[in-house]
Amino acid sequence: MRFDVVTIFPETFPGVLESGLSGQALINRTIEIYCHNPRDFTSDKHRSVDDAPFGGGAGMLMKPAPLFECIEHMGQPRPFVVLLSPQGIPFNQKLARSFVDQYDRIAFICGRYEGVDERVRTNLVDMDVSIGDFVLSGGEIAAMAIIETLTRLIPGVVGNQESLTHESLENNLLKYPQYTRPRNYRGLKVPDVLLSGNHALIDKWRQEQSRLRTQTRRPDLFTCNQMNKNDKYPIASDGANDGEKNKESE
Ligand code: ADE
C-alpha cells in the first residue's frame, strides 16, 4: 500500500512509523510513504502556502493552488485523497478497514494554520477525516496515526491474525482486561477464572468484561451494539467487575 503525504514538514516522516511493525512494513516495502511539500508548487520568492481569509478573521488559510498542483503532480490514476482536519468524519476501525479493502494508494493532505481554502475540500478532496474531537497544530500526527492503523490491517503485517479480531473495535467492543505473571502482585490477584484452564468459561468471562467495559466507558458504542443485537451472553447485572472500581474482581 502506498501513502503520499502532502506536508510542509516532510522531515517529520516517517517519524514513529519507522519503529515496530510499521517499520518492518517499510523495510519489506509492504507500505511505502512518499512526502510532497506544497512549497515546491509555489512561484513567489517566499514560497508561501498560506494567506489571510477573505472576510477577515484570525489566522491564515492554506491556499488552493499549491495543494491542487501537488496532488495533480501525483499523476493518474489519482490516489484517494484524504484531508486531515478536525471538521472531518471521525476515523475509526471500520473506516480503516474500508480504506484497506478499497484503496492501494491514499494521499493525505496535512492541513496547517487555521485550515484550508474551502475549494480544496469541495473540489480536490475525496474525504475529510478527523482523528478525534481535539485540535492538533496540523494533520501530520493524524496522518501517522491513520497510516499505522491501516498498516496493521494489511494481511501479514500482524503475525497472529487472531489478535486483530480480538482487539478490533470493528465489533464496537472494547477489549477485556488482561493479566500476565505474577498471579499475585502486591496482593493484587489475577481473577481465578483466568487460571481455571476452562476455556469456555474464560471466553464467557472475557465477553462479559468487554461488554461491561464498553457499557461504562463508551455508552455510544454500546448503544450501537444494542441496535444490532447478535450477542451470545447476557450482560452481568451488577457491573461490579468493572476495572478501576474493583481491582481484585478483575
Ligand atoms: N488536524 C488538526 N486537528 C486534527 C484532528 N483532530 N484530526 C485530524 N486532523 C487534524
Residue 233 has pLDDT above 80, yes or no: no
User: pLDDT tens across 52-97, in order?
Assistant: 999 999 999 999 999 999 999 999 999 999 999 999 999 999 999 9
How sure is the predictor about 235, in pLDDT bands with cuts at 50, 70 and 90? very low
Longest dimension (CA), the chain: 71
Q: Is 132 in the pocket of ligand 1 (CB under 6 A)?
A: yes
How sure is the predictor about 169, in pLDDT bands with cuts at 50, 70 and 90? confident
**Best mutation site among 95, 134, 141 for ligand 1, i.e. most ligand atoms within 8 A of its Cβ?**
134
User: pLDDT tens across 177-199, in order?
Assistant: 999 999 999 999 999 999 999 99
Q: How far is the centre of ligand 1, averaged over its atoms, from the C-alpha of 243 (Å)?
A: 30
3 to 26, 29, 68, 111, 229: CA distances (angstroms): 11, 12, 17, 16, 37
Q: Please tell me the distance from the alpha carbon of residue 39 to that of residue 95, in angstroms, as a whole number.
A: 30
Residue 133 Cα: closest atom of ligand 1: 6
What the chain holds in terms of domains, given with CATH numbers, is: 2-161 (3.40.1280.10), 168-249 (1.10.1270.20)
Lowest mean pLDDT: which of 110-119, 184-193, 223-232? 223-232
Q: What is the mean pLDDT of the chain?
A: 90
Q: Is 7 in the pocket of ligand 1 (CB under 6 A)?
A: no
Q: Cα 99 to chain center, whole Å?
A: 11
The model carries a pTM of: 0.89
Residue 168 has pLDDT above 80, yes or no: no
